[in-house]
Amino acid sequence: MEGHKRIGVMTGGGDCPGLNAAIRATAKTAILASYEVIGIRDGWQGLIDHDNLILDQARTSEILDRGGTILGTSRFSPLKVEGAPEQVLRAFADLGLSGLVVLGGNGTLSVASKMFDMGLPVVGIPKTIDNDVAETEFAIGFQTAVQIATDALDRLRSTAESHHRVMLLEVMGRDAGWIAVYAGMASGADAILIPEIPVDEDRMEKICEMVGTRSGKGKKYSIVVVAEGARLTGFTSSAMNVDCAGGQPSAHRIGEVVAQMVQERTGVETRHSSLDYIQRGGSPTAYDRNLATAFGARATELVRKRDFGKMVALKGNGVVTVPLGQIADRIRTVDRDMYDLAAKFFS
């Protein structure tokens, strides 16, 4: 017996390429198994607001390659509002759902884990361009963001070379520098700054030295990638050109601040760019479409088997499942080996 034949699907947290591919895969495989599929709008908020739609064949057609999420998303957490977890449980029952598939990053999946403990039959799918969900090699959206950042770095290289400048690109990655490392390595960056390795005076010296050494070798330009969560440590506010006492530059200013420091110390003209939301928008790569398809199909299977409280994950080339409790409130940081490999080519 499979119980009720109704599955709910929602997307929470920041959007990313590949969400629609996962919604499509979940819905189509569920429809094939004779389920009705209910899309919940704007994450957990949609359950509270009773804001949903039926995801039939027509609504889930032609969305495989579409960026964003047709369901809308929000960062609303029911755990932060009194009475909201109970409202979520009631809405789930009122909709007659037998299981809920939640696409989310660390925040949304941690909430899913706690809601499971409170009795919500839930299955998680990891998605985030930051790639920092624990226990999965890749999350949906990451490879697309890496490709966008790599394309941007290739373009920055030609202008950096023409003007003999240091060109610095700030990419996303609040708590982990996966995009910076993967895109930096793919584009042959000369330095990569990530949250996992704080930048102190010593490291800043090395970066500036590298700019000088490259000039000596006839390469009168350099490419630096900075993750938005990269941290400066041990510098005074005036050295960082920031006016907050002893402060860390705010998010979306780290690239600018590092660029100014490099220019001041090397005398080489330095420019910075930020990819911001461009790296989160638009069509997913083939890899992300296929990962999303495999994750979505597996999530449906878990609901059919009533195997709740799990997240689908990538291990090697296979899709596995891990308990949500094992990934909740954790951050998967960059493997040191991966960073060291990229660093071998800094010069």
Q: Which is nearer to ligand F6P, 20 or 131 (CB)?
A: 131
| Choices 24-32, 41-49, 125-133, 262-270 (CB under 6 A): range interacting with ligand F6P | 125-133
CA angle 63, 60, 307 (to 5 degrees): 115
| Choices 28-36, 170-178, 259-267, 322-330 (CB under 6 A): range interacting with ligand F6P | 170-178
68 binds ligand F6P (CB under 6 A): no
Alpha helices in the chain (DSSP H): 19-32, 44-48, 84-94, 106-117, 142-163, 178-186, 201-216, 237-240, 254-266, 286-304, 324-327, 336-343
As measured in angstroms, the least distance from the Cβ of 69 to ligand F6P is 12
As measured in angstroms, the least distance from the Cβ of 146 to ligand F6P is 13
Phi, psi angles (nearest 5°) of residue 329: 60, 25
108 binds ligand F6P (CB under 6 A): no
DSSP, collapsed to helix, strand or coil, labels residue 6 as strand
Give the residue, chosen from 120, 172, 191, 327, that forms a contact with ligand F6P under the rule CB under 6 A. Answer: 172
- The pattern of x and - marking residues 277 through 306 that bind ligand F6P according to CB under 6 A reads ---x--------------------------
Give the residue, chosen from 5, 59, 174, 203, that forms a contact with ligand F6P under the rule CB under 6 A. Answer: 174
Phi, psi angles (nearest 5°) of residue 223: -120, 125
Return the sign of the alpha-carbon dihedral for residues 66, 103, 13, 42: positive
The closest alpha carbon to 144, from 133, 132, 128, belongs to: 128
Alpha carbons 180 and 254: distance in angstroms, whole number: 13
User: What radius of gyration, in Å, describes the C-alpha atoms of the chain?
Assistant: 22
Give the residue, chosen from 130, 135, 256, 288, that forms a contact with ligand F6P under the rule CB under 6 A. Answer: 130
272 binds ligand F6P (CB under 6 A): no
As measured in angstroms, the least distance from the Cβ of 343 to ligand F6P is 22
Alpha carbons 226 and 155: distance in angstroms, whole number: 16
Q: Which is nearer to ligand F6P, 171 or 191 (CB)?
A: 171
Structure tokens of 317?
């080339």
The closest alpha carbon to 9, from 58, 47, 65, belongs to: 47
128 binds ligand F6P (CB under 6 A): yes
As measured in angstroms, the least distance from the Cβ of 174 to ligand F6P is 4
DSSP label of 127: B
As measured in angstroms, the least distance from the Cβ of 77 to ligand F6P is 13
105 binds ligand F6P (CB under 6 A): yes
Identify whether 130 is a catalytic site residue: yes
| Choices 44-52, 172-180, 234-242, 322-330 (CB under 6 A): range interacting with ligand F6P | 172-180
Number of residues that bind ligand F6P (CB under 6 A): 11
As measured in angstroms, the least distance from the Cβ of 72 to ligand F6P is 13
Q: Which is nearer to ligand F6P, 130 or 135 (CB)?
A: 130
Q: Work out the end-to-end distance of the chain between its first and last CA atoms, rounded to an integer number of angstroms.
A: 62
- Give the pairing of strands 99-104 and 191-193: unpaired
Per annotation, catalytic residue among 130, 132, 190, 288:
130
Give the residue, chosen from 8, 10, 12, 14, that forms a contact with ligand F6P under the rule CB under 6 A. Answer: 14
Half-sphere exposure of 63 (CA within 13 A, CB side): 24
Residue corresponding to tokens 């689908």: 312
In single-letter form, the type of residue at position 126 comes to: P
Chain centroid offset of residue 277 CA: 11
Alpha carbons 172 and 161: distance in angstroms, whole number: 24
As measured in angstroms, the least distance from the Cβ of 139 to ligand F6P is 10
Interface residues with ligand F6P (CB under 6 A) are: 13-14, 105, 128-130, 172-174, 228, 280
Q: Which residues are catalytic?
A: 130
